[in-house]
Amino acid sequence: MILNEVALKRQSVVFVLLWLIILAGLSSYFALPREAEPDITIPYVFVNTAYEGVAPEDIEKLVTIPLERKLKGLADVEELRSTSLDGESSIAIKFLPSVIIDDALQKVRDKVDQAKGDLPSDLEDDPLVSEANFSDMPTMQVVLSGPFSLKRLKVFAEDLEDKLESVPGVLDARLIGGLEREIHVEFDLDRIGAYNVPFSALVDSVQKGNVNMPGGSMNIGDARYQVRVPEDFQSPSEINNIVAFVRDGKPVYLRDIATIKDHYKDPVTRSRMNGQNAVTLQIIKRSGENIIKVNKGVTVALEEAKTFLPPTLCLDVVGDRADDVRSMVSDLENNILTGLVLVLAIVFFFIGGCSAFFVSIAIPLSMLITFVLLRMLDITLNMVVLFSLILALGMLVDNGIVIVENIYRHMQEGKSRYKAALDGTNEVAWPVITSTLTTVGAFFPMIFWPGIMGEFMSYLPRTVILALFGSLFVALVINPVFSARFQTVSAPDFGEDGEERITGGRRIYLKMLNWSLDHRFIVLAISLVMFFASIFSFGAYGKGVEFFPKTEPARANVNIKAPVGTNLDATDRFMRVVERVGAEYDDVRFVIANTGSGSGGAFGGGGTGTHLGAVTLDFKPIAERSILSSDIINKVRARLTSMITGAEVRVEEEKGGPPTGSAINLEVYGKDMRELGVLVEKIRGIMRDIPGPVDVKDDFVSGKPEVQIRVDKERAALLGLDTYKIAYTIKAAINGVKVGVFREGKDEYDILTKLPESERQSIKALRRITVSGSAGEPIPLTSVASVKLASGLGAINHKDQKRVVTVAANVEGRLANDVIRELNVRLKEMSWPRGYSYTFTGEQEEQRKAQEFLTEAFVATIFLIFLVLVAQFNSMATPFIILTSVLLSLIGVFGGLLICGMPFGVVMTGVGVISLAGVVVNNAIVLIDYFEQLRVRGMNTREALVKAGLTRFRPVLLTAITTILGLLPMAVGVSFDFFTFTFITKSDSTEWWSPMAVAVIFGLFVATMLTLLVVPVLCSLKDGAKARWGKLTNKEAHKQDDADEVLKESIEESEKRKGAVTAPGDAA
């Protein structure tokens, strides 16, 4: 082959290339950005439209539906969701992952522009189009807490904010919580009534009295002067001096009818850390910066800040994503190193001496090449990439074993090192390439996995393929040069013992092989029985099917949902109960409470409102916990359910991996929201009766208490009023409207007009508000509108333009698939009104998509491997014999899951099965290739099968054992930390990847053992059938010599193209 011939002629260049690989590989490894999980790009675009004072049903009709009609025509849209709220429409467009976000953003803007003519003319602002910016997510949160007021805490946070923003790589330190200064102009209704002045006119007077406006410029003499009206407020007290109106020729000042208060914004949320008041600084890193370096810089800055902050002020770092990254990367690196040591040990044990060293260098060199390629492709070092290297660990030596052992055999024949390296490599180069291509063919289809799950898992096939090509390069270029320079044929001291051990194994194998060839149909029957028995046994006694592995959570969120309309104080009382329960567990590091908002998944799924609250339980690292975090969650859930009445309690684990939704996610469709509410309540009742569902929730908001002000539009128009003016006046009185800003140094503070606190909570005061008529006269609100207490829908949700309510739940104690199956039966028994339907989405939908893709990928894998095998063996029958190894591996997969008590994971086990397809066929290729070569040399079928089996026993066994040992630390969850010299028995990464490791280990073990017996049996049957067929067709196939001659010609033609695999054992 040209590549290795050039390498052997230019050995100095190869050694320079070797050093280049080492230096570039190490440089790339340390430069690669670290992430706990792959960076998943989900092209979401949002359209938000504010329409103050309008009810959800009117928002839906006037804003949401017109926008949806235009947006539905967009191409490549996966999902269109919307929510119509009080005074706001929010639309989320989810595009296919292949869509470029900038293109999607522009297309949405164009459609929104087209819809503007259909929207209400009195919208204050145009719809806002924005994208989901995942780089804007905090990498860590610094929580300031202690025995201080929220005012003081915010001052401390502002001092710290400037310091943290100066840390290299920090884009922003976003301050959340505390009290925000605000200037209130509170009008006295009694004084306003005495002057008979409309309330709305007074709001305008404040706005017009705070002006700093340029008036242009003037030329005076030789100078040019800027004209400006600098009448903005220099202090809050100046607001008192505004002339509100003139009465009887005398000015009436604002101080005569209003009180100016230097106040704070009304709190809509409250935060506490471990029971004390808290404010938070969210650290946002710059795009492309190394998260570990940035967060370490922030940690150093915090230590420095403690010198000028009070000692009683607590600075706690929560949600440090760099910690997660460090832990995950460290766990996987230790698994790689542990697996590497085990693989090297077994290689030295079986091979020994220089040959073992030359084979072993394939692992580090292949990985270094992979790091270089990963850096070139802008792929981060995340847990999927690192596990891919663990999966490939044992495979990386396979090519080296074949090349080095074949060179060794040629040296035993008396050839020089150079000649042996050249001939030995040329002889097996094409079979080695073919073997690599079959493995690559198994992983290649997974690159095209669509959707979020595909973005997450596609890093696995990409990394494995890069590593395999790296090992192929090392085997064809570097291994021959090392052998040509340093290889010796003298056996090492321990070589005889090692060979004797193998010989003992070969003796047992010989007896089993001879028995199998004597009882061929019994062997096939046993294999078939084992195959079907493993499937049926797993179906009867296995743990079922799961979508994604269940891992021990690092955090949990306790969500409180009180009845809509519950005020902040009442909700906070529920929150304090949760805080007390969470603080009782030693394995909980931090208890962080936020009243006024719920925790959610991506895109703010938790929501905001005074009736909502969320308590985050942050657990200690997994190795430091005395009990499982899932056990703590179950105990907290059970206790809170019995302790809290009058509010809904949900305890949700913080999941890792790709976002897939809740374990149970049921969408109910229909036209009438109130009818949907009735159906949802029935569904919740069914879920309560079924074992398994916990933390049941829905997004139907009914019975929201309202003070409804219904405007008599005709009467209002006659008096020169419109609905917007009336609504704006009410908002100015109750909620307050911004009429200007007060600047102090570099800070700006809003100025708001409103009624005093006592009157803002009074319907009687509301009725006394007056609006300015067409002639400026005060018109009482009650003259043009009615005021009454009522209730209305809080939100209306759409999915793809249809009204929908979602019911979601987690599952404990059972598999989600089993619960969904039972729930589906009960739902079908329910009475459904005409036009109403349901569908399971979320995790169930992602599972269905994953099953469909993996089934297609498995078929594509088999087809690609089949093509490669047909090209290599120039036969249709032989590839079918080799592919039986794939079926045999399933015996091990299901058996391993049964033994380990694991469910069949759609993603992890499914990917493991596809990976196995590319690995197990290599053993059969090695065996059959040598068998056919022996047939060419004149051996009969039986002798050739026995000789091939015995000769190939060691390389087949060795390649299988190296792959198994590479994955063993991940499967058993035990690795060695080479930096602290301690054993690690608990890690987050093990929970993630052990199901796949178990599938590959058991599948490869069983497939290897049975391949050494079943494949020879099938070859024997094929040759026997071929001979009998020849007799029937009178082609003199009964003469063995003629048959051998035909086979010899076919094989020799193939050898001219690609060579044949031989082993050192056949030279003996």
Residues 915 and 1040 in one domain: yes
Closest CA to 812 of 666, 685, 659, 695: 695
Q: What is the pLDDT of residue 800?
A: 92
Look at the chain and report how many structural domains it folds into: 4
Percent of the residues in the chain that have a pLDDT greater than 70, as a whole number: 91
Separation in Å, CA 434 to CA 309, 532, 570, 597, 763: 66, 31, 70, 58, 83
8 A C-beta contact, residue 126 and residue 116: yes
Residues 287 and 359 in one domain: no
pLDDT at residue 1062 in the model: 39
Residue type at 445? P
The pLDDT of residue 515 is: 92
Question: Which of these, 119, 148, 144, lies nearest to 49 by C-alpha position?
Answer: 119
- Report the distance separating Cα 69 and Cα 89, nearest Å: 14
Q: What are the tens digits of pLDDT across the range 606-628?
A: 567 788 888 989 888 887 888 88
Residue 246: beta bridge partners? 251
Q: At a CB cut-off of 8 Å and minimum separation 6, what does 482 contact?
A: 358, 361
Q: Span 1046-1066, mean pLDDT?
A: 46
pLDDT tens digits for 143-173? Answer: 999 888 888 888 888 889 888 989 998 888 8
Residue from 314, 30, 285 nearest 145 by CA:
314
- Cα–Cα distance for residue pair 13/154, rounded to 1 Å: 64
Q: Please give the pLDDT value at position 67.
A: 94
Which band of pLDDT confidence, cut at 50, 70 and 90, is reported for residue 801?
A: very high
The token pair that represents 756 in the structure block: 């005093």
State the pLDDT at residue 491. 46
**Inside any domain, residue 629:** no
Mean pLDDT of 402-427: 83
Look up residue 268 and give its two tokens: 């809509």
Please determine, for residue 874, whether its predicted confidence score (pLDDT) is greater than 50. yes
Residues 861 and 749 in one domain: no
Q: What's the confidence (pLDDT) of residue 235?
A: 80
Buried (b) or exposed (e) across 63-97, using 16+ Cβ within 10 A? bbbbbbebbeebeebbebbbbbbbbbbbbbbbbeb
Weakest-pLDDT range from 347-361, 772-786, 1000-1014: 347-361
Domain CATH number, residue 186: 3.30.2090.10
pLDDT of 1052 over the 60 cut: no
pLDDT tier for residue 20 given thresholds of 50, 70 and 90: very high
- Do 332 and 401 lie in a common domain? yes
Which of 921, 842, 893 shows the shortest CA–CA distance to 1001? 893
The pLDDT value recorded for residue 360 is: 80
Tokens (6 digits) for 303: 């230590």
CA pair distance 742, 233, nearest whole angstrom: 6
Q: Is the pLDDT of residue 989 over 70?
A: no
Q: Which of 617, 608, 613 is nearest to 582 (CA)?
A: 617
* Model confidence pLDDT, tens digit, residues 915-960: 888 888 887 887 888 788 888 888 888 888 888 888 778 778 888 8
Q: Residue 841 and residue 808: Cα distance in Å, rounded?
A: 10
- Report pLDDT digits (tens) over 904-915: 888 888 888 888
Lowest mean pLDDT among 323-327, 385-389, 582-586: 323-327
As a whole number of angstroms, the distance between CA 343 and CA 365 comes to: 15
* Residue of higher predicted confidence among 812 and 331: 812
Question: Is residue 808 one of the residues assigned to a domain?
Answer: no
- The CATH number of residue 385's host domain is 1.20.1640.10
SS3 annotation, 346-379: HHHHHCCHHHHHHHHCHHHHHHHHHHHHHHHCCC
Rg (CA), the chain: 37
φ, ψ of residue 662 in degrees (nearest 5): -70, 160
Residue 172 makes CB contacts below 8 A (sequence gap 6+) with 165, 282, 283, 284
Instruction: State the pLDDT confidence band at 581, using cuts at 50, 70 and 90.
Output: very high
Please provide residue 678's backbone torsions phi and psi, each rounded to the nearest 5 degrees: -65, -45
Phi/psi of residue 878, nearest 5 degrees? -60, -45
- Which region, left, alpha or beta, applies to residue 596 given φ > 0 means left and ψ of -120 to 50 means alpha? left
Q: How far is residue 753's CA from residue 735's CA, in Å, rounded to a whole number?
A: 9
pLDDT for 816-825, tens place per residue? Answer: 888 999 999 9
Q: Which of 66, 101, 131 is the last residue of a domain?
A: 131
Mean pLDDT is lowest, of 446-455, 504-513, 890-899, 1053-1062, for 1053-1062
Q: Do 87 and 107 have their domain in common? A: yes
353 and 415 part of one domain: yes
CA dist., res. 23 & res. 3, Å (int): 23
The per-residue pLDDT for range 699-752, each reduced to its tens digit, is: 887 766 778 888 888 888 888 888 888 888 888 888 888 888 888 877 788 888
CA distance 1046 to 1031: 15
Asked if residue 280 belongs to a domain, the reply is yes
Q: What is the mean pLDDT of residues 190-212?
A: 83
Does residue 578 sit within a domain?
A: no
- Residue range 117-145, pLDDT digits in tens: 899 887 878 899 988 766 667 888 899 99
Q: Supply the pLDDT for residue 373.
A: 94
Is 344 found in the same domain as 458?
Answer: yes
In this model, does residue 1067 exceed pLDDT 60? no
Look at residue 372 and tell me whether its pLDDT is greater than 90. yes
Query: If you average pLDDT over residues 233-239, what whole number do you get?
Result: 81
Provide the domain limits for residue 81. 44-131
Q: Looking at the predicted structure, is the pLDDT value of residue 393 above 80? A: no
pLDDT reading at 1050 higher than 70: no
Q: What's the pLDDT score for residue 822?
A: 92
Sign of CA dihedral 916, 921, 923, 924: positive
Can you name the residues that pair with 284 across neighbouring β-strands? 172
Inform me whether the pLDDT recorded for 420 exceeds 90. Answer: no
Q: Containing H/E element for 343?
A: helix 321-350
CA–chain centroid gap for 207, Å, is: 49
Residue 237 covered by a domain? yes
Could you tell me what percent of the chain has a pLDDT over 90? 16
Tokens of 537: 């046994």
Same domain as 284, residue 249:
no
CATH of the domain at 103: 3.30.70.1430
Model pLDDT, residue 1044: 52
Average model confidence (pLDDT) for the chain? 83
Q: Which of 96, 131, 166 represents a domain boundary (last residue)?
A: 131
From the list 1014, 1018, 876, 1027, the residue with the least C-alpha distance to 940 is: 1027
Whether the pLDDT of residue 92 is over 80: the answer is: yes
Question: Does pLDDT of 893 surpass 70?
Answer: yes
| Amino acid type, 736 | G
Please say if the pLDDT value at position 1063 is more than 60.
no
Instruction: Spell out the SS3 assignment of 858-925.
Output: HHHHHHHHHHHHHHHHCCCHHHHHHHHHHHHHHHHHHHHHHHHCCCEECCHHHHHHHHHHHHHHHHHH
pLDDT level of residue 449 (50, 70, 90 thresholds): confident
Q: Are 767 and 782 in contact (CB under 8 A)?
A: yes
Based on the domain organization, do 156 and 59 belong to the same domain?
A: no
pLDDT of residue 73: 84
Domain boundary (758, 776, 792) is at 792
Residue 782 has pLDDT above 70, yes or no: yes
3-state secondary structure 170-212: EEEEEEECCCCEEEEEEECHHHHHHHCCCHHHHHHHHHHHCEE
Mean pLDDT of 347-373: 82
The structure tokens 């025995």 sit at 147
Are 1042 and 942 in contact, with CB atoms under 8 Å apart? no
pLDDT band at 656 (very low <50, low <70, confident <90, very high): low
Q: Give pLDDT, residue 241.
A: 85
Residue 248, classed as helix, strand or coil, is coil
387 pLDDT more than 70 = yes
Say how far apart CA 648 and CA 578 lie, in whole Å: 12
pLDDT one-digit tens code per residue, 744-769: 877 788 888 888 888 888 888 888 88
Lowest mean pLDDT among 264-278, 441-455, 499-513: 499-513
User: Residue 1031 has what pLDDT?
Assistant: 66
Rounded CA-CA distance 616/595 in Å is 11
Q: Dihedral (C-alpha) 1001, 1002, 1007, 1013: value to the nearest 10 degrees?
A: 120
Domain presence at residue 357? yes
- Same domain (yes/no): 911, 966: yes
Residues 59 and 14 both lie in one domain: no
Higher-pLDDT residue of 438 and 1039 is 438
pTM: 0.73
Determine, yes or no, domain membership for 608: no
pLDDT of residue 495: 45
The secondary structure of residue 474, as a DSSP letter, is: I
Question: What pLDDT is attached to residue 492?
Answer: 39
pLDDT at 919: 81
Confidence of residue 577 (pLDDT cuts 50, 70, 90): very high
Cβ-based neighbours of 677, under 8 Å, separated by 6 or more? 700, 702, 805
pLDDT at position 803 is 94
Q: What is the mean pLDDT of residues 848-853?
A: 85
CA dihedral sign of residues 346, 351, 353, 358: negative
Same domain, 17 and 114: no
640 belongs to a structural domain: no
Predicted confidence (pLDDT) at residue 496 exceeds the cutoff of 70? no
Residue 1037 is predicted with a pLDDT of 43
- HEC string of 926-948 equals HHHHHHHHHHHCCCCHHHHHHHH
Cβ contacts of 210 within 8 Å, gap of 6 or more: 231, 232, 233, 239, 739, 740, 741, 751
Q: Confidence band (pLDDT; 50, 70, 90) for 1032?
A: low
